Amino acid sequence: MSDHRPTAVPPDAPENAGYEKRDVKARGIVIGLVAGVLIVSAAIIGLTQLYIMTREEIVQENVLSKPDPRLRELNAEETRILNSYAIVDSAKGVVRIPIERAMEVMVEEAHRERSGK
């Protein structure tokens, strides 16, 4: 039976004997890998935030900054209704009063209920 174990390097072997004489430094590889992962993660997060900000700016410019004339008409109609008197149902005696006056009436009624009058 022959022994196939590697033999020890002779002390007079040249420096470039065809193989490495030392192990790879794992610490440098791990540090490089962690740094790479952090850089890629930061780039992904940064680009995502840039995309979101750019998309919001485009939406603001193209959609939200141009008020629709129908919306202005609707707001004007609602404001007119909130600030006017009208008969809603004359058979039941339901009327509409301006919102400011309605709030005053509610406060007066609440005050009367609390004071017991």
The ranges assigned to domains in the chain are 23-66, 68-117
Residue 73, pLDDT score: 93
pTM, two decimal places: 0.41
Residue 25, pLDDT score: 84
Residue 108, pLDDT score: 94
**One-letter amino acid for residue 29 of the chain:** I
| Cβ–Cβ < 8 Å for 84, 98 | yes
Residue 76, pLDDT score: 94
- What is the block-wise mean pLDDT of the chain (117 residues), using blocks of 10 residues? 59 66 85 97 98 94 83 93 92 92 93 84
